Structures are given as C-alpha cells and as structure tokens.
Amino acid sequence: MTTLTTKTQLLEDAGYAYSFDREIYVNRKARKVFSLDFVEDHTEDVLAAKLGEPVPSTGKWHFYFNSAPSPGVERELSAILG
Amino acid sequence: MAERTPEDRLREEYFVLLPVVRRVMEELEAEVRHCLLPLSSKLHKHERLVVTSRVKDCESALGALRRRQEGATFDSDKTDSYTLTSLNDLAGVRVLAFPRSRRIEADFDFRQRFKSWASDPVPADDGGEEPLAFKYHGFCAASTMIRGELQIAPMLVGLFWDVEHSTVYKPSPELKGVGKTPEMRRRRSEVLTALKAFENEFERLVRLARSAE
C-alpha cells in the first residue's frame, strides 16, 4: 500500500485526478491518462519517466495502459474526457 | 437509429438470464443450509451461523464486468464479445460465522460438499496465511451457464462490510472517492485488525474457561 500511496502522490503532485468510475488518472492540461493497472504494475521510476514524457500538442489524449487501448476504447474515453 | 452499446446488450442479457440466476441462488442457498445443518444444531448460545443470499443487480453486474477491462471501458467495436455469464457472482450465498472455529468447521464441510468448485479466497490485509474470507465458485445442478458464488466470512467482518459497502464500493455521488483515500484504507485495515484481535481474544478466553471446568 505504501508504494501505491507514493505513486498516487507522484500523480497528484503532477496534477492528475483519479476517476473512480473509470479507474484512471487524468490530467486534462497534459491530456494524458494512466490506467490504475499501469500505475500498479510499474515502478515509481517508470511512472515518473512517463509523467515527464513530452507529448505532441495535437489535442489528442495519450493513454498509458498495460495493453494499448483499442480504437473503440480510445474513442469512448476521449468522448467522456472531452 | 442509434447503435446499441455494449451496455444496452448486456442489460438485455441480464434480464434474459435473471430467472436462471434466481434458480441458481435458490438451489445454492438450499444446499448450503442443508450442508450446515449438523453444525448449526450443535452451536453454543454465543455462536452464530447466518446464511444470506442475493442476486447481483443489473447495474452492479455491468459495472463489475466493465471494471474487468483496463480503463473500465467497454470497446463499442466488440459489443458481442462481452457476456455476464463470465461473472462468478451473479448468484451469491454468504455465510457469516462467529467465532473463528465455527467458520473453519463450516469451510471444511463446504470443501467436502463443493469439491469441484474453484477457490478464490479474499486475502487478508495483514499478509497472514489465513484469508480474510473463504470464497468458492462453480456450477450447481440448476445451470451449466451461470456460476454460483459461496462466501464464508467472519461475522464481525461481514457486518462491517455491510456498512463499508455503501461507503467504499457503492457510495452516493457526493461520497464517491472518500472511502478509497489512503487514509480511509489505513483506517479500514485497522478496523479489520481490531475485529480479528477481538475474535482471537474471545476464543482464547473461551478455551481457558472450558479448560478450567
């Protein structure tokens, strides 16, 4: 639980909010989404690296999932996130 | 016409399955009560064995299946690939037992009765060897399509779960998230530790009293 708490803190410090309904961490400004599974299954170092990773400002959402989301899931989540 | 979403299709499936789910629940509850008869008849006054059953409601079933997907989102391009029959707990029976020794006896009896069922225990927070609750799932004679789930939990924990369920798992919108904060998770863990300590101490004193007789 301690490790998850540390990772949660990392995400919150970077401006991410947790969506309880979708089990994802979302940063609307950065337009990045981390799944809970990804956060749980990766180390703090990997998470920190992904948080700092620059993404092109195309307006598209960037998803960090263990298994890349299908186009259908990306479409659904993008519609929900706006 | 608007396209049918995975949720639309699953709601329809739920109501098609519902009569079978009810039959599974009724059969499982009857089997469990029958299996517990010898144990129930020798309980001491302070000991408890309570059997409850329930059919998972439609939205809970959809939510449970949705949360199995990463990102808790159905793929609308694969509407037909989801089915509620993949859930283990559409029909569920819970046995709450006090104290621990009766829970262990009940679990032993169920293991004999439901030999072919898969074990899926709820792990304890403290990392101890004994799970927080025993859980099994499998098929009854009532259906080869719908699995039943049987849970044997400490009565104190089960009663706590009843309260916790509406704050952590199915909170009202204004409470969403409150129960899952690290601080609340720590408090929850403390409650479970305290309940276990209460039960252990109680049993120790009962043993002492009996040995003094």
Q: Which 8-state DSSP code applies to residue B133?
A: B
Which residue pairs, CB below 8 angstroms and at least 24 apart, start in B3-12?
A: B3/B76, B4/B79, B5/B74, B5/B76, B5/B79, B6/B74, B6/B75, B6/B76, B6/B78, B6/B79, B6/B82, B7/B62, B7/B74, B9/B79, B9/B80, B9/B82, B10/B61, B10/B62, B10/B65, B10/B82, B10/B83, B10/B84, B11/B58, B11/B62
Place B163 in a pLDDT band, splitting at 50, 70 and 90. Answer: confident
Highest mean pLDDT among B71-75, B125-129, B146-150: B146-150
CB contact under 8 A, B70 and A37: yes
**Mean pLDDT of all residues in A24-38:** 93
Number of domains in chain A: 1
What are the extents of the domains in chain B?
6-156
Q: pLDDT by residue (tens digit) across B119-136?
A: 999 988 777 788 999 999
DSSP structure class, residue B130: S
Cβ neighbours of B176 in A, within 8 Å = 20-21
How high is the ipTM of this complex?
0.82
Domain that holds residue A35: 2-81
Q: Give the mutation candidate from B73, B80, B174, B190 for the A interface (greatest A CB count, under 10 A).
A: B73
* pLDDT digits 0-9 by tens, A35-76: 999 998 999 999 999 999 888 778 899 999 999 999 999 999
Computed over every residue of chain A, the mean pLDDT equals: 89
> Half-sphere exposure (CA, 13 Å, Cβ side) for A13?
10
- Architecture of the CATH domain B6-156: 2-Layer Sandwich (3.30)
Q: Please state the pTM of the whole predicted model.
A: 0.84
